[in-house]
Structures are given as structure tokens and as C-alpha cells.
């Protein structure tokens, strides 16, 4: 490997420029402008080629969600070389501060994820020495859970705007929990939480959501209100309401939209903006999915 170009990247500092150092271009889709703290999520199409010998300061994953045909690749992780056949649904895992090189002979689309080690600890409120959180390097392996999360993350990147940040954070939270349980050196027994949020906590969260319903709320923001980790908060919130935070906020927006449509005097596009949707089509899609009719058909019932 000594004759290959080497580069060190810290996405927390370098942002998209770090991605360009590795791949010589910007990704097709990325979370860089979405202010996802400690996270990089990108989708890109990779033609046949190679990357330089690279050390990234974050934990890294590649999730191959769009491969039209198997691809032969040569991957080098921390001194170990493997020639492998990569198929749709496969993923590889590169722990933070680990040298990695790869070259491949076919094209396809993949999700690239970068996770700050401290974010994984904070997600569980773990007080371990940060050096003890070690992920196990993995060459391309099939994992249906990671594949499903990769597809969901691509969907979030393709539909930026209202609630996409919260949805992406929820998916990354699920990914982190999966990595800690199945791909870490130390086996983490993740606790299960019962009983839901305390009544005062639930009231505080619901009031906050209703007050800022038109904002692009984040999971971390909501969890901080009641001083819980995002993972802990999400579990307790769902136990209290029957919905994930993302699902609950979406339903509250539709409920407020119905109220405004019944009152009249506003266009559908105006209502969509007031309740926090990016545009009328976004409002229309979710309204029809949850109510079974379009906003226009809903209005006809009253006027």
C-alpha cells in the first residue's frame, strides 16, 4: 500500500470537501446541508474505479442498495486484503481511525454513512470511556436490517425538507443501535424501557410540538427538552402516544391542516405552508395516505 496515495478525512471539519478528497466529486444526495449533528449521510452512484488509501475519523458504512449486477471488488481494511463479490443489499463497516482502500470493476449506487463515535455513546447515554466503543471491521456482508435502513435513508435524502431531518435521525438511531448490538467489540445489552414518558414530560413535548409545528424539528432537540437520550426518548414517546415522534408530528400537521381547510379562506398551498409542509404536493401525498382522500375532496365536504 505504500505506493498508493493516502488521505486523512474528518467529516466534522471537512464536510463535503472531505467526501471530495476520497471520491473526487460531490455526492448526488447528501445530508451535509441538513444540520445532522455528528452524522454524514450521502447517496452516490459509483462507476468502476478506486479510492485512495483513506483514514476517516468517523465510523463509516457503505450500503449497496442499487447494484444492477454483482461487482467484483478488492478491499483492504487495516492491513487485511480480501477479494470479494459485492451484491445488492451488502454493506461494509470501517471503524473510525482505520485505514481503508478499495477498487471495484462495476458500477452501482450506495449509501455512505459517517458516524461520530461520541454520537453513538450519547444516543444511549453511555458513560464508557470513548476508547472502549469499538466497532468490528467488516468486509461486504449481507444484513437485511442495514439494507432496509439504507433504503429509508435514500428516501429521506430524496425528499428534503419538512420532517426529513427527524426521519433521517430516527433511521440513523436505529442503525446505531443495530451496530452496537451486532458489530461492536463489547456486547451491549440495550435496556428496554417501560411506562412511557411522565405526564409532565409528555405535556411539555406535545406543547412544544404544537407551538413549533411548522419547524423542521429534530429528534435531538425534542429529547433534550426532557433531558433524555434520543433513543430513550423515542421509545418512551412511542409507548405514551402509540406513534414514533416522526409519525406523531406528521399526524398533528394533518390534523391542523384539516382544521384550517374546514375554516376556509386559505388555499391548499397556504395551509400546507402554515402547518409545516415543504409544498402542496408534499401535503397532498401525506393527507391522502392518512385520510384516504385528497385535500380538495376533503374541502368539498364542507363547501
Instruction: Assess whether pLDDT exceeds 70 at residue 286.
Output: yes
Over the Cα atoms of the chain, what is R_g? 21
CB 12 within 8 A of CB 57: yes
Residue-level pLDDT at 132: 61
Those residues whose C-beta lies under 8 Å from the C-beta of residue 7, and which sit 6 or more positions away, are: 21, 22, 52, 53, 54, 55
- The DSSP code for 28 is S
Maximum distance among all Cα pairs of the chain, rounded to whole angstroms: 74
Residue-level pLDDT at 23: 94
Mean pLDDT of the chain: 90
pLDDT tens track for 206-234: 999 999 999 989 898 999 999 998 888 99
CB 166 within 8 A of CB 124: no
Instruction: Assess whether pLDDT exceeds 80 at residue 158.
Output: yes
Identify any residues that bridge with 276 across adjacent strands, giving them in sequence order.
none
Residue 128 binned pLDDT confidence (cut-offs 50, 70, 90): low
Q: Is 216 exposed, middle or buried (0-12, 13-18, 19+ CB in 10 A)?
A: middle
Of 80-89, 183-192, 287-296, the one with minimum mean pLDDT is 183-192
> In the chain, what percentage of residues exceed pLDDT 90?
69
CB 112 within 8 A of CB 46: no
How far is the CA of 3 from the CAs of 53, 77, 79, 98, in angstroms? 10, 16, 14, 18
Run of H or E including 118? helix 117-124
Q: What is the mean pLDDT of residues 18-36?
A: 83
Instruction: Report the alpha-carbon distance of residue 97 to residue 18 in Å, rounded.
Output: 14
Instruction: Assess whether pLDDT exceeds 70 at residue 38.
Output: no
pTM for the structure as a whole: 0.86
Amino acid at each position: 500500500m505504500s505506493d498508493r496515495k493516502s488521505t486523512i478525512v474528518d467529516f466534522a471539519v471537512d464536510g463535503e470537501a472531505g467526501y471530495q478528497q476520497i471520491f473526487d466529486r460531490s455526492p448526488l444526495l447528501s445530508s451535509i446541508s441538513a444540520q445532522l449533528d455528528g452524522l454524514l449521510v450521502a447517496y452516490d452512484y459509483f462507476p468502476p474505479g478506486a479510492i485512495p488509501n483513506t483514514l476517516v475519523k468517523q465510523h463509516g458504512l457503505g450500503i449497496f442498495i442499487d447494484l444492477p449486477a454483482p461487482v467484483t471488488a478488492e478491499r483492504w481494511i487495516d492491513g487485511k486484503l480480501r477479494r470479494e463479490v459485492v451484491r445488492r443489499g451488502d454493506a461494509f463497516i470501517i471503524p473510525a481511525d482505520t485505514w481503508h482502500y478499495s477498487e471495484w470493476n462495476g458500477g452501482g449506487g450506495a449509501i455512505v454513512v459517517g458516524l461520530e463515535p461520541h454520537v453513538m455513546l450519547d444516543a444511549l447515554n453511555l458513560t464508557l470511556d470513548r476508547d472502549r466503543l469499538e466497532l468490528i471491521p467488516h468486509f461486504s456482508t449481507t444484513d437485511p436490517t442495514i439494507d432496509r435502513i439504507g433504503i429509508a435513508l435514500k428516501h429521506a435524502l430524496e425528499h428534503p425538507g419538512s420532517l426529513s431531518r427527524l426521519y433521517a435521525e430516527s433511521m440513523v438511531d436505529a442503525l446505531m443501535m443495530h451496530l452496537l448490538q451486532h458489530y461492536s467489540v463489547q456486547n451491549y445489552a440495550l435496556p428496554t424501557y417501560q411506562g412511557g414518558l411522565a405526564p409532565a414530560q409528555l405535556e411539555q413535548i406535545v406543547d412544544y410540538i404544537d407551538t413549533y409545528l411548522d419547524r423542521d424539528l429534530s429528534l435531538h432537540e425534542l429529547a433534550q427538552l426532557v433531558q433524555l437520550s434520543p433513543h430513550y426518548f423515542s421509545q418512551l414517546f412511542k409507548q405514551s402516544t402509540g406513534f414514533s415522534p416522526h409519525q406523531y408530528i406528521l399526524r398533528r400537521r394533518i390534523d391542523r391542516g384539516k382544521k384550517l381547510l374546514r375554516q376556509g379562506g386559505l388555499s391548499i398551498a397556504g395551509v400546507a405552508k402554515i402547518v409545516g409542509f415543504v409544498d402542496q404536493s408534499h401535503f397532498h401525498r401525506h393527507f391522502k395516505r392518512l385520510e384516504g382522500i385528497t385535500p380538495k375532496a376533503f374541502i368539498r365536504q364542507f363547501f
